[in-house]
Amino acid sequence: MHYISTRGNASNLDFAGVTLAGLASDGGLYVPRAWPTFTQAEIKAMRGLTYVDLAAKVMAPFTAGSLSEDELRELCAAAYGSFSHAAVTPLTQLDNQQWLLELFHGPTLAFKDVALQLLGHLFERFLSGGDKALTIVGATSGDTGSAAIHAVAGRENIEIFMLHPHGRVSDVQRRQMTTVLAPNVHNIAIEGSFDDAQAMVKRMFGDSEVTSAITLSAVNSINWARLMAQVVYYFWAALQLGAPERKVAFSVPTGNFGDVFAGYVAAQMGLPVERLIVATNVNDILHRALAKGDYSVGSVTPTAAPSMDIQVSSNFERLLFDLEGRDGSATAERMKIFEQDGKTALTDAMRSKAGLFQSARADANEMSGAMRWAYEKCAEVIDPHTAIAIHAARNAGISADVPVVTLATAHPAKFPDAVERATGVRPSLPARVGNLFDREERFIVLPSDYVAVRDHVLGHAARA
């Protein structure tokens, strides 16, 4: 499989190349040259596979040329062996129409483990025997950071620098990053928002002073391998609910547009998807873009669902590229305008091409209401992010014969205060995360200043 940049001006890479590179050199994101497809018969034959076997089947077209299906299966077995549930991502019924896909059984209790546990193994495989050393730089609104750190802590030839907005992630989220004391882990608290941190990371990738000195890689969902790993669970859930004979809708708590874009990829590959519901909190740039064509940056309002407190959704560019007819120069032009003006308008033609998506926004009351509904009517304690998507799922007007699967992206114990406020129940951390609150923390605080952050990274980066 060959990968091309959404901005049409970077060299094509194979799967190993895009995994190690992250962002393309022209500032674009890598996507497969064409979407691979499965026939309905091939999809039907996937029923009943274990998660690991299904993962290898679904991802094999994307890794072809770099990994065989058997090699991929071995890596998946290693990655998903770290999950605490035998089904890896179990599907739970809420009512006659609503279902929950539990994606939080990995080591850091959020769905990001599903992709990042695999990515850690992919990095190790593609670096082994070579003379490359990787410096991973990432920005996190909370959950990516800990999942990435857990995926690469202690691995050779890798240093990881994780930027988080100081004071804007939950205590559990912060401690899951800062209590990992492996020497290759560097936590940086930025005195700014997630968007400030993400902008600095993006800038480092385009800064020749950095890229000439060290090999940078990304673990944010701009890394294609992450999206690829997330495609698998759309197949997994839909197959259990009758695919390919029956369509399924998905409701996805959305921030950087990575998780829901993976659902779009599953649909491009032939999975019959009725609808993809993009659920946002009050930071609703994606809702405005999809509902009205208005993709314009607002200011970030901190909420109880911090992993969705985002106003610039990196992966939206991958969708824009498809909506532009996969025209790299048109996408580059549009993104240049967006980066200058903070806004771009989607044409009616683009919006109608995006017809698989529906969007919704939930405020704090609607979020708490959804947590209460799940607890009182379905005996399920859900986290604030999941609650936003449950609210959207229940109000989406999907026909009653279509099952709606909400992606449960975090364990409720990651956000105990918000859950307790809404339901009166304080969820406790699963025993497997251990004595998080007794362990030593290590991180430094830096101002929201590009040069200070860059110099810190250069001073501690990996060198082969």
259 makes contact with ligand PLP (CB under 6 A)? yes
Give the per-residue contact string, 317-356, with ligand PLP (x = CB under 6 A; - = no).
----------------------------------------
Catalytic choice (112, 202, 247, 414): 112
DSSP-H helix ranges across 379-449: 384-394, 416-423
What is the tally of helices (H) and strands (E) in the chain?
19, 15
Confirm if 441 and 175 have CB atoms less than 8 A apart. Answer: yes
Contacting residue, 255, 328, 403, 416, with ligand PLP by CB under 6 A: 255
Instruction: Kindly state the smallest distance separating residue 140's Cβ from ligand PLP, in Å.
Output: 9
Residue 45 CB, nearest distance to ligand PLP (Å)?
29
CB of 464 to ligand PLP, least distance (A): 31
- Binding region for ligand PLP (CB under 6 A) out of 65-73, 87-95, 250-258, 442-450: 250-258
Contact, 186 vs 158, CB < 8 A?
Answer: no
**98-102/134-139 β-pairing:** unpaired
Phi, psi of 4 (to 5 degrees): -120, 160
Within 421-440, which residues bind ligand PLP (CB under 6 A)? none
- Could you tell me which residues come within 8 angstroms of residue 365 by beta carbon, excluding any fewer than 6 positions away? none
Nearer residue to ligand PLP within complex by CB, 104 or 126: 104
Q: Using the rule CB under 6 A, which residue among 146, 176, 184, 254 binds ligand PLP?
A: 254
Distance of CA 56 to the CA centre of its chain: 19
Q: Which of 257, 264, 295, 338 binds ligand PLP (CB under 6 A)?
A: 257
Q: Are 231 and 10 contacting, i.e. CB atoms less than 8 angstroms apart?
A: no
Q: Which of 112, 175, 275, 287 binds ligand PLP (CB under 6 A)?
A: 112
**Is residue 308 a contact residue for ligand PLP (CB under 6 A)?**
yes
Structure tokens that stand for 341 in this block = 């003006």
Interface residues for ligand PLP in 214-243 (CB under 6 A)?
221
The size of the interface with ligand PLP (CB under 6 A), counted in residues, is: 16
Asked whether the CA dihedral 406, 246, 43, 34 is positive or negative, the reply is: negative
Point out which span in 124-132, 241-249, 253-261, 447-455 binds ligand PLP (CB under 6 A).
253-261
Q: Is 409 in the site for ligand PLP (CB under 6 A)?
A: yes
Q: Does 406 bind ligand PLP (CB under 6 A)?
A: no
CB within 8 Å of 438: residues ≥ 6 apart: none
The residue (of 333 and 420) whose beta carbon lies closer to ligand PLP is 420
Beta carbon of residue 387, minimum distance to ligand PLP (angstroms, whole number) = 11
| Radius of gyration of the chain measured on its C-alpha atoms | 20
Burial of 82 (0-12, 13-18, 19+ CB in 10 A): middle
Can you tell me the distance from the alpha carbon of 39 to that of 120, in angstroms, rounded to the nearest whole number? 31
Q: Minimum Å distance from CB 253 to ligand PLP?
A: 4
Nearest approach in angstroms of CB 410 to ligand PLP is: 3
29, 91, 100, 143: residue in contact with ligand PLP (rule CB under 6 A):
143
CB of 317 to ligand PLP, least distance (A): 13
Q: Got the DSSP string for 232-286?
A: HHHHHHHHHTTTTTS-EEEEEE-SSSHHHHHHHHHHHTT--EEEEEEEE-S--HH
Does 138 bind ligand PLP (CB under 6 A)? Our answer is no
- Within 10 angstroms of residue 47's Cβ, the number of other Cβ atoms is 12
**Peptide bond between residue 244 and the one before it cis (omega within 30 degrees of 0):** yes
Nearer to ligand PLP, 49 or 429 (CB): 429
| Smallest separation (angstroms) from ligand PLP to the CB of 254 | 4
Helix/strand/coil for 130: coil
CA gap 55, 77 in Å, rounded:
9
Strands 185-191 and 444-447 come out as: parallel
Among 179, 307, 358, 406, binds ligand PLP (CB under 6 A): 307
Binding string to ligand PLP for residues 369 to 388, with x set by CB under 6 A, is what?
----------------x---
| Structure tokens given for 24 | 């393309």
Active-site annotation holds for 57: no
Catalytic (active-site) positions: 112
Q: Where on the chain is the footprint of ligand PLP (CB under 6 A)?
A: 110, 112, 143, 221, 253-259, 307-308, 385, 409-410
